[in-house]
Amino acid sequence: MKNYIQFSKEVEKAKQEDKAIVALESTIISHGMPYPQNVEMAKKVEQIVRDNGGVPATIAIINGEIKIGLNDEELELLASAEDVAKVSRRDIAEILATKKIGATTVASTMICAQLADIKFFVTGGIGGVHKGAEHTMDISADLDELSKTKVAVICAGAKSILDLDKTLEYLETKGVPVVGYQTDELPAFFTRESGLKLNTRIDDVKTIAQLAEVQWDLGLDSGIVIANPVPEEDQLDSIFINGIIDKAVAKAEKEGVHGKDSTPFLLGEIVKQSDGKSLETNIKLVEHNAKIGTQIAVEYSNLSK
């Protein structure tokens, strides 16, 4: 395993000092946002993790190595290169073997975080069951990964381009706890509310850390979704954004866009149709997730001291 994993100096030092480390994905940089907002967001999110007492570990595959923590040059490469592969579970071995540049999705970031013994991961939103999945079987590998990989994912729910009702049902079937942080319902990414009630609400980060400790102490080796709504002042009007999403989904169907190309295509369309408002909200919710996720990771780290 040591042949494939390369820790940054900052992360290596944090591991030696038993500090709270927070994993960050790289697909949001390469495929989720345009340049240069993507690299600016990545650096700011890393700083938010540091400001809240944690150490950021942005994960990517570069030159045949799983990088746990990136330097500025590597962040810039991921943000601006045109040939960055989108890496999920099925792609990890191929991208390592061929020494291509790969940006990790939620699923592959979870895998790499677990290999590096990092238990908390901050992202924007998880993947899920796509609209029309009863015909296409288009279901994100993120959901299956959550059922078997011991990493807590702090997110603003699932991306609202998805069928949120079916996504929540899938997670329930797989036995994945979905914890609402200061909310009774699943956030809908760009908006705070989806109308879908959650089984669990917890209002403080210490209790969420304790839940994670008990879950994994019991040998229940699934992930945990910690659903953290976008701040109220940053959310979009639900009628406005849902109308744009419906148009984007219809365009994707018409143009035959599917599989791993769906999410980048849809998010790009939504940015265009919303005159950039969706991108602004996306950045704000990632920043908020970084703050809350780091606070949970720090509390969890303190439990074992």
| DSSP 8-state class, residue 193 | -
Give the Å distances, CA to CA, from 93 to 60, 88, 97, 103, 104: 13, 10, 6, 13, 12
147 is in an annotated binding site: no
CA–chain centroid gap for 166, Å, is 19
Whose structure tokens read 């990964």? 145
Residue 206 is labelled as binding a ligand: no
Quick check: is 159 catalytic? yes
99 is catalytic: no
Instruction: Establish whether 39 is an annotated binding residue.
Output: no
- Extract the tokens encoding 176: 């994945």
User: Which is catalytic among the residues 10, 25, 185, 287?
Assistant: 25
Question: Does the annotation place 140 within a ligand binding site?
Answer: yes
CA distances from 94 to 5, 99, 110, 114 (A): 15, 8, 18, 19
Q: Give me 23's structure tokens.
A: 């994993």
Q: Is 229 helix (H, G, I), strand (E, B) or coil?
A: coil
Is 142 labelled as part of a ligand binding site? yes
Q: Could you say which of 67, 150, 159, 291 is catalytic? A: 159
113 labeled part of a ligand binding site:
no
Q: Which residues in 87-102 are b (16+ Cβ under 10 Å) and which e?
A: bbbebbeebbeeebbb
Q: Which residues contact 272 (CB under 8 A, 6 or more apart)?
A: none
Binding-site sequence positions for substrate: 86, 106, 140-142
Active site residues: 25, 159
Binding-site sequence positions for Mn(2+): 138
Binding-site sequence positions: 86, 106, 138, 140-142
